Structure 1
Amino acid sequence: MHDGHDGAGAISSEVNRIGRAVMDAAFAVHRELGPGLLEGVYEHCLAADLARGGLSVERQVAVPVEYRGERIDAGFRLDLLVERRVIVEVKSIDALASIHTAQLLTYLRFAQVRLGYLVNFNSLRLKDGFRRIVL
């Protein structure tokens, strides 16, 4: 787990609290299910655990792109938006690549959210597939 990008300032303690809940839930899901399942399974279980913990969780949230004053529904969707303040992108792939970080940075920018997580559940040790990114 590492900060993939250091933002211009610290994020609030409330956003950090939500982030810790995301991390705890992701590790719990991985401990119980292990690697090798489809992304949708992990996404569903993670969303359910976060909701059970009292957090508001939206799945597959559409985020429009603004280009030169025009709003474009480009069809990109956030896997999870927690409390409207933290984005979680769920993966189940061989390894995270720099393009996944770039994707999350773009999502953070367009959604105007400062904290995001890339979580690759297809890792033997989840900490090896976990990235925390602050915009």
Structure 2
Amino acid sequence: MSDFDLTEKIIGEAIYVHKRLGPGLLESTYQSCLFHRLVQIGLKVEKEKSLPVLFDGLQLECGYRLDLVVENQIILELKSVKKLKDIHLAQMITYLKLSGKKTGLLINFNVQRLVDGLKRVKN
């Protein structure tokens, strides 16, 4: 499945979760519910996947965790903040570079309409 088709499915499920729960909850709540929905539609999803840092030929476990990784292709970084900031985008770009993945979705659930809290990020 192409990255575009996969991100469209993910966005559809994120909108479903947001419509059911609304804004204002903890990120972990949205993460658990979105994980459930994505698995329910048959996608392979990893939650809190460890992301090591490669430095000078060493693999360092620095405690970075990817919120969700779908089909080993798309990184989902979930937020529940008043407004997405440049640092959130920088974080996603760094995650893409460190993981070698090409596409990420930055999703802020703390908005009235989820479409206003979505950013598709390419490496």
User: Shorter chain as normaliser: what TM range?
Assistant: over 0.9
> Matches of 1:79 and 1:89 in 2, distance apart?
6
Amino acid at match of 2:12: D
The amino acid across from 2:45 in the alignment is V
- 54, 58, 62: which one pairs with 1:66? 54
- 5 Å matches for 1:1-135? 14-135=2-123
TM-fit CA distance, 1:68: 1.4
RMSD (Å), alpha carbons: 0.8
Secondary structure of residue in 2 paired with 1:71: strand
TM-score, L = length of structure 1: 0.89
Partners in 2 of 1:107 and 1:33 — Cα distance?
A: 27
Q: Percent identity?
A: 41
Structure-2-length-normalised TM-score: 0.97
- The corresponding residue for 1:4 is none
- Report the Cα distance in structure 2 between the residues aligned to 1:18 and 1:113, rounded to whole angstroms: 14
Q: Which runs of 5+ in 1 are unaligned?
A: 1-12
What SS is found at the alignment partner of 1:42?
helix
How many Å apart are 1:128 and its aligned residue?
Answer: 1.2
Give the C-alpha shift of residue 72 in structure 1: 0.8
Residue 18 of structure 1 and its aligned partner are, at CA, apart by 1.2
Q: Which amino acid aligns with 2:90?
A: A
The match for 1:9 is: none
Structure 2 unaligned regions, length at least 5: none
CA distance in 1, matches of 2:37, 2:60: 33
Residue type of the alignment partner of 2:99: A
